[in-house]
Amino acid sequence: MDALTAAGINQLKVAAHYHSVRTFDPKDDAFGFYTFPGGCLFDPDDQCFEHTTIRPPPNEIRRRSDSFGDLTSVATGHGIGVDAWVVCYHGTRLASNWPAYRIEDAYGTAHDHALCPSHPEVRRYFTGLVRNLTQYEIDSIDLESLGFPSVVHGHGDSYGHHKDHVIQNRTEEYLLSQCFCDGCRARAAKGDIVDLEAAEATVRTLCDRYLTDVGDTPPLSQLIAKNPVLEDLFAFREAVIGDQLAALADASGDVSLTYYLADASGYTPDSLWPSGVTPALLEAYVDRVTALCYTAETSVIDERLTAAEETLSHTVDAGATLDPSVVDDRAHWDDLYNRIERQIDGDVFVYNHALLTDGQLEWVAPAGTTTLT
The percentage of the chain sitting over the pLDDT mark of 90, rounded to a whole number, equals: 77
Query: pLDDT tens, 148-177?
Result: 999 987 555 544 566 777 788 899 999 999
Q: Is the N-terminal amide bond of 132 cis, ω within 30° of 0?
A: no
Longest Cα–Cα distance of the chain, Å, equals 60
Query: pLDDT tens, 173-199?
Result: 999 999 999 999 999 999 999 999 999
Which domains are present in the chain?
A: 13-156+233-286 (3.20.20)
The closest alpha carbon to 232, from 267, 191, 204, 268, belongs to 191
CB 51 within 8 A of CB 38: no
Segments in the chain below pLDDT 70: 154-162, 365-373
* Tally of CB atoms within 10 A around 92: 21
Measured CA to CA in angstroms, residue 81 lies from 76, 90, 139 at distances of 6, 26, 7
CB 85 within 8 A of CB 144: yes
How confident is the model at residue 372, as a pLDDT?
53
CB 133 within 8 A of CB 42: yes
How confident is the model at residue 366, as a pLDDT?
60
Q: How far apart are CA 159 and CA 7, in angstroms?
A: 40
**Considering the entire predicted model, what is its pTM?**
0.94
Q: How many secondary structure helices (H) and strands (E) does the chain include?
A: 13, 13
How confident is the model at residue 25, as a pLDDT?
80
